[in-house]
């Protein structure tokens, strides 16, 4: 992530310090002291755990792999956050992501704190047995700090339900006779997972866009049409048109968001481009997204890369470079790959006027500022990609109660919770002149600060 969460937290606290209706009990010198306490508490993690996993490879070579578990803040509940397997993983990145989880849970009123884990590997370079050993060793090294009432990991980039199954099984072996179902979320349904967990993040990503362009704009059309806010004018211009979408990243998040778009009855959409780590596929009249989903499921997640593979998939498309998707003439760009995709050096080439962050921090702070000043709409990660942690919470609840919800009930609860959040942040976004990202950060830190004050932790 290109900007430290400590800087973001500091800016939000500066805003809230000048807000007379927030924590009115704190006045004069006491108020300044309390806000200094808040800055110290929220800008640093509670715990930083690091280990070097000892793994024996198939060729009998022994390697030591850096692994992390960061526990940022547990004011609202047990630590919660994914474990990513990626070669870019490092301590600073995981600390930042853990802080983002704290704010994300606070924003959506999910009763968890923020945590994050990571292992510095490219999972494609390891076979199944080696990945299994890595998962087991991760739990062994960090088992003392994990648990259904302490710290509850979930999938992230490079991990999925298979890895969560393995990790929960190892936790169960280490803690015989103790509750274990809630120790990890994102598991397979047969292993105590929740229906809808795999699709939750992608569905939530698309839902934030749909709710904004359909529900919110329809309900507030007259008021917004009279506004001189350039963001309002941009939004209204796109409300009733047939939208051209491009989706960067075609994993669990991007592929589900693309499917939601083409099947949506509320908006008229064409997904004209998708990309993965290898290629961009483009067709001006729209791609056959269900066929691409089926092809990737049979080909280790990779999109077709040649004319022969496109024919095999039954898809008509032009094959382009993977970065080309960022610069296409589309209405909406869904960023569901990795961080720092749009930055100061390439932002001038971006043509989309609406961007949705399915990944964490795909747009740098500098690029975000430039795009916002140009009237672009950015639905940020803290709002858009919270579907995973919301349904993880539902999975955790189901494991504790041993009563399981239908898929329809899971998605209803997901959309209800996200709708509640959006009803709070979209009007503030249109009314304050701040970016939607800053509005979300301010809302989250307001909730955290109020809880810290009520718990007597500021003095």
Catalytic residues: 116
- Angle formed by the axes of helices 5-17 and 28-42, nearest 10°: 160
Collapsing DSSP to helix, strand or coil, 18 comes out as coil
Residue 138 CA to residue 151 CA, distance in Å, equals 14
Token duo for residue 405 = 């919800």
- Please choose, from the candidates 370, 373, 379, 334, the residue with its C-alpha nearest in 3D space to the C-alpha of residue 352: 334
Distance of CA 148 to the CA centre of its chain: 21
Fill in the DSSP letter of residue 323. Answer: G
Helix (H) or strand (E) holding 296: helix 289-298
Residue 142 CA to residue 153 CA, distance in Å, equals 11
Query: Are 107 and 383 in contact, with CB atoms under 8 Å apart?
Result: yes
Helix (H) or strand (E) holding 63: strand 62-73
Print burial letters for 155-172: b (CB count within 10 Å at least 16), e (below 16).
Answer: bbbbbbbbbbbbbbbbbb
Distance of CA 340 to the CA centre of its chain: 14
Query: Are 150 and 78 in contact, with CB atoms under 8 Å apart?
Result: yes
Query: Are 276 and 250 in contact, with CB atoms under 8 Å apart?
Result: yes
Print burial letters for 414-430: b (CB count within 10 Å at least 16), e (below 16).
Answer: bbebbeebbeebbeebb
Angle at 238 between CA 380 and CA 323, to 5 degrees: 55
Report the half-sphere exposure of 313 (CA within 13 A, side-chain side): 26
Token duo for residue 296 = 């990737």
Query: Are 331 and 307 in contact, with CB atoms under 8 Å apart?
Result: no
């Amino acid at each position: 992530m290109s900007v430290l969460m400590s800087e973001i937290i500091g800016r939000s606290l500066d805003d809230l310090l000048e807000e007379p209706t927030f924590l009115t009990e704190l006045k004069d010198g006491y108020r300044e002291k309390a806000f200094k306490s808040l800055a110290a508490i929220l800008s640093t993690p509670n715990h930083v755990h690091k280990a070097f996993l000892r793994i024996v490879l198939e060729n009998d070579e022994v390697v030591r792999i850096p692994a992390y578990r960061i526990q940022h803040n547990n004011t609202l509940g047990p630590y919660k956050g994914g474990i990513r397997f990626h070669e870019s993983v490092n301590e600073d990145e995981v600390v930042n992501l853990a802080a983002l989880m704290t704010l994300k849970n606070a924003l959506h009123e999910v009763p968890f704190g923020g945590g994050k884990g990571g292992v510095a590997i490219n999972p494609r370079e390891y076979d199944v047995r080696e990945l299994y050993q890595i998962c087991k060793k991760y739990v062994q090294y960090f088992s003392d700090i994990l648990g259904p009432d302490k710290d509850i990991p979930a999938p992230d980039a490079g991990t999925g339900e298979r890895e969560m199954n393995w990790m929960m099984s190892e936790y169960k072996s280490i803690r015989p006779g103790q509750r274990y179902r809630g120790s990890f979320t994102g598991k397979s349904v047969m292993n105590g997972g929740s229906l809808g967990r795999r699709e939750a993040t992608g569905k939530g990503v698309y839902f934030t866009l749909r709710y904004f362009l359909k529900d919110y704009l329809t309900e507030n059309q007259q008021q917004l049409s009279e506004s001189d806010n350039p963001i309002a004018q941009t939004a209204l211009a796109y409300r009733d048109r047939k939208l051209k979408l491009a989706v960067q990243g075609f994993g669990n998040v991007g592929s589900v968001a693309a499917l939601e778009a083409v099947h949506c009855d509320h908006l008229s959409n064409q997904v004209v481009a998708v990309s993965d780590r290898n290629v961009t596929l483009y067709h001006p009249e729209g791609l056959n997204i269900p066929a691409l989903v089926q092809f990737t499921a049979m080909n280790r997640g990779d999109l077709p890369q040649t004319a022969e593979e496109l024919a095999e998939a039954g898809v008509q498309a032009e094959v382009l470079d993977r970065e080309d998707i960022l610069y296409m003439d589309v209405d909406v760009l869904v960023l569901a790959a990795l961080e720092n995709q749009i930055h100061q050096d390439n932002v001038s080439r971006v043509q989309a006027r609406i961007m949705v962050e399915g990944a964490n921090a795909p747009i740098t702070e500098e690029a975000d500022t430039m795009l916002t000043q140009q009237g672009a709409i950015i639905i940020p990660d803290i709002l858009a990609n919270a579907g995973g942690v919301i349904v993880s919470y539902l999975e955790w609840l189901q494991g504790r109660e041993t009563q399981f919800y239908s898929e329809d009930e899971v998605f209803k609860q997901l959309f209800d919770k996200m709708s509640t959040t959006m009803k709070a942040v979209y009007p503030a976004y249109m009314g304050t002149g701040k970016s939607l990202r800053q509005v979300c950060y301010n809302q989250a830190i307001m909730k955290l600060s109020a809880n810290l004050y009520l718990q007597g932790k500021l003095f």
